Structure 1
């Protein structure tokens, strides 16, 4: 089992191999949530994820014979990069099995560290089984992404850093997939400060640890924006640590995670992937549980697919009213489009897209229907634009 001395030894072992990331207060997030929020920027690690800690610690514990043969790992991205990077630094052969759905940015990044990438299976479980098979066939040492005390010990070193910088923290909110991160963090934190509250967060689509610890049978989904914690089966040893040390497990929705990613980008100017933003998502969603407390959040990773990020930004702008889709109906006479665009401009909105529809409409033949995508300030501004159009005798409404 994992012990506090294991984590202290891992911290000594990692030494200069890992960045000691900052843990700093966020005044704006504190104002929004009503808690004193402190952010641990693990997305600043070289591979942009805390996974480096566990991978590096485990690799350094290999025997000389194991180092000669090499290692194999299974991961949807961050563990893969951590193993590949530190294996390259140590001169070890690394084979990484990744599910076929893994974002291309993570695949290419892993390859750039010299690893042999094998894309196999449509689920993490299928990829894991293939990695086990390769380990047996080629006599490679399997480096588990979470269900390994040495890996969890490495992850727990970040909790030592957090409490060294912010010893007065009341609560730590930790994203949970298989449980390696929270196992290490909870073991370290509860040993250093027994009164501290440790809260785990999973998405509703992948409540594997909640099922394992609480004896539930909540359905497991097919995909989530937080693919880094999309684990169908929690770790065997990690679930025991969670039972012993974790106070609460919370669930968040996909929209909560999207909002958290965007908040961190806009407020903190930092790029965080879905799994890394799950802690903030829980803080915002379940804020009443944390008001007035000093809360530590771990921004566990920043490897997000650029196309997914673009979609999150656009959807977030639509939810906040900074991007609006409206439909305007008017008499089809010369100059009507110019009149509409002038009215929109006078109302202070910017036109991003225009679709001028004549044939495919139920309006009278002498009328025209025009669809706009507008850049606006907020929801109230959208209403002002609609009122301005209506004041000009046009029918205008949101779509």
Structure 2
């Protein structure tokens, strides 16, 4: 787990090319290396650091052990608006890109298209793919199952993953974007609280007996968001991404960090609705603008903090980090420095420490 101390702030114009070079050294073809870099750095830019460049060391380790093949080509089968993708050992980002590309092509012909992906690996932030579909003119939904770390409602042992749900819709500007886990918190936030010697809210984590705890050191698993409702949403994701797609289900999934002897076999599910089949895109954008205005003009509980749309806090972080650089934790900088040294891709000169 990365520490809370920031070791270096790096400009996106430096970090993304470095990640591209490292990915190429790991065996990714040039265009695929650039795509991986774009996906990971986008997560960092939006403040979703747990899904950004800190994942590179474990990606490299799984490639070195033959569990992920950066040169593999996912198998894509398309029947009308139904897309089936078998990752065939490819990295999660490349499997998801194959699904997105096929969805866009099928969606423009059939107006509604859906895709399943099986045999995948960690694909980063789900919102990256939902926004790509929205930028192409689709209302999009992207979900993925993940390794068990969340107890079922009323249970004491981890069964489901954080099972994210991402939704995006086109606007006249940047897509509306929602990207959320179905757990109450991320484990990273629990670990940060432990490092700082702080307590956590009682709905974040459970101890070994399945009891809610405010002691971050006692957390053995996460709790579902909103109790039974979050568990239900997690099950929805598990059914669409795991059961329907033919991927591993719940406890069958390999743990990215611990199970270094087998693939993860993660599943993803995507839906793309062609806006132009329902109304002219300009009309849809105008209606989205009306809805956004209604949200922004609603009365806040605190006059100094206006009501924001989902995704706007991340968009604000993106603007700041593009200007000021991406703050990387000290542990992450050390790991990337070591990884780059092993593959002949020297780490970047020290920037301003935050």
Q: Same fold (TM over 0.5)?
A: no
Greater gyration radius: 1
Q: Of the two structures, which has the highest relative contact order with CA contacts closer than 8 Å and spacing of 6 or more?
A: 2
Report which of the two has the higher share of helix: 1
Q: TM-score, normalised by structure 1?
A: 0.23
